[in-house]
Amino acid sequence: MALLSMRGVHVVVDTAEGPRTLVRLSELELAEGEMLGLVGETGSGKTLTGLAVTRVFPTPSIRLQGGSIELGGRDLAGLGERELLAVRGREVGVVFQDPNASLNPVFPVGRPLMDLLGLHRSLRGQAAVAEAVRLFQRVELPDAAALLSRYPHELSGGQRQRVMIAMAIAAGPKLLVADEPTTALDVTVQAELLRLLDDLRREAGMSVLFITHNLGVVAHMVERVAIMYAGDVVETGPTRAVLKEPRHPYTRLLLEAVPRQGQGRLKAIAGTAVPRSEIAQGCAFASRCPFAQDRCRAIEPALEGPGVHRAACLRQEEVLHV
C-alpha cells in the first residue's frame, strides 16, 4: 500500500518574466515501510521534489503550482499553512544535507529538540529532557545527557547530523525525507549513519525517501530506485533491475560515469541539462541522448514498461539490449 503518492506535481519559481517550471513530476510512489532512492545529477529537481511534500522551499519565490501529494490518503497539496505546521515534524520528518544550516549556533543542540517535543508531543521540563536524552542515545550519540547543553560548533559533522536525525524522528513520523544526509561526511561516518537510518526505518516502520546522487549508496541501501532528470522521473523499479538492466539512456550513461578501478579517463554525459522550463516538447533528454531520433524530439514519452520496472523512453527496448 502506498504511503506517499505524488502525481502531476508542478513546482515553479516566480521571476520577472513570469513563472518558470522547475519540477513537473508525473508520478512517484513510496510504500509503507519502504526506502526509495531518488537519484539524479545536480539540478535534476530531486531536492525540490522532497521539499514539495511539506512545501518548505528555500525561497518564497518557489511554490507548488499544481498536482496531488497524498500522504496516507490525505492530499497535502490542498492544506493551508496552519495545517501544514502540524504535518511538518509530526507526520513528515526531514534530514537536510548540511546540519550547519539547520542548527542555530547561538543555542545548545538540545534546545530545538526539546522545543519539538513540546510542540508535537506536549513534553516539557524533565519529561522533555529525559526523552531528548533517549533520542540522542538512540542515534548513538555519546554522553547524551551532557551533549544537550553543547553548541553546534562543539560537535563533529557526524554528531551534528545525528542530532538532526534525532530531531527528524522525535515525533514518530510516518515518512522521513533524507536529502543527501551523508554527502559532507567522510566514508566511515557515512557508513555508520546509513546503517543507523536503515535500523531506525526497520524499527519504527517508517518510509524513507532517500535523496542522493551516489549510485553506490543506492545499490546497498534501497529496495527501489527512481531516476530523475529535468524535474521528472525517467526510470523506476527494483534497484537491482534498474542498475543491472537500465531501460533509459540517462540511467545507462549515469552508470557508465561511475568511477571504477583501472578505468582510466572517466566517461561524461555529453552536453548540459536543459531546464524543464525550456523544454517545449518531446523527451527532455533528447538533446544529450545517443539513441535519440526525430520522434523523440516530438513526442514526450510516458513512464511505462514491463511490470514494476518502467522508463520514460520511446526506445527503451533498444537501450536494454545494447
Q: How far is CA 121 from the centre of its chain?
A: 26
Which residues, in sequence order, are CB contacts of 74 under 8 Å at separation 6+? none
pTM for the model: 0.93
Q: How far is CA 125 from CA 118, 122, 145, in A?
A: 9, 10, 14
Domains of the chain with CATH codes: 2-222 (3.40.50.300)
Q: What is the pLDDT of residues 122-158, one digit of tens each?
A: 999 999 999 999 999 999 999 999 999 999 999 998 9
177 has which bridge partners?
Answer: 94, 209
Q: What confidence tens digit (pLDDT) does each residue in 70-111 have?
A: 999 999 999 999 999 999 999 999 998 888 888 999 999 999
**Contact present, 207 and 4 (Cβ < 8 Å):** yes
**236 grid coordinates:** 523506476
Instruction: Give the orientation angle of helix 157-169 with respect to helix 110-121, to 10 degrees.
Output: 10
Is the pLDDT reported for residue 251 higher than 90? Answer: yes
pLDDT at res. 173: 95
Question: For residue 314, what are the β-bridge partners?
Answer: none
Strand partners, 310: 236
Using DSSP's 3-state secondary structure scheme, residue 302 falls into coil
What lies within 8 Å, CB to CB, of 222 at 6+ separation is 35, 36, 37, 210, 239
